[in-house]
Amino acid sequence: MPSQCPHCMTEIHAEASICPACGAVRGVWGRSVESWRRASTFMLGMAAFFIVAGMVFGTWVASDYSTTWFDGLIGFLLLSPFMLFSGGVGLFLRYVIPRMPEGWYR
């Protein structure tokens, strides 16, 4: 069943994500759901990078500057806020954004 674009009132297919007449995009907060998914993949990749970098940094600190494992843990914990932030944003973009109601944006 065809529907209308809310901007130019052109008849478009109900499953269309872009209006052929005016270029309006169906999505959430002005972007398509696919672009939010690409952004979430990047942010989750950054979280994984910070996990690995924290482990490497913690191991380096523990092996070069101390004799206890606790100092290596402190080295890992220095990077954990960045890991938690990028992981939280990535999970928000991955699981919350696609469930929001879609609208048409130009």
How does pLDDT run across 47-81, given as a tens digit for each residue?
999 888 888 877 777 676 655 667 667 777 888 88
Q: How confident is the model at residue 42 (pLDDT cuts 50, 70, 90)?
A: very high
Please, what is the Cα angle at 15 between 11 and 16, to 5 degrees? 60
Find the mean pLDDT for residues 3-17: 82
Give the model's pLDDT for residue 85: 92
The pTM score is 0.70
Tokens of 73: 């843990």
Nearest to 31 by CA among 46, 18, 42, 20: 18
Query: How far does Cα 81 stand from its chain's mean position?
Result: 16
77 in Cβ contact with 52 (< 8 Å): no
Between helix 69-95 and helix 33-64 the angle, nearest 10°, is 180
Identify the bridge partners of residue 12 per DSSP, sorted by sequence position. 3
Q: Which residue has the higher pLDDT, 70 or 23?
A: 23
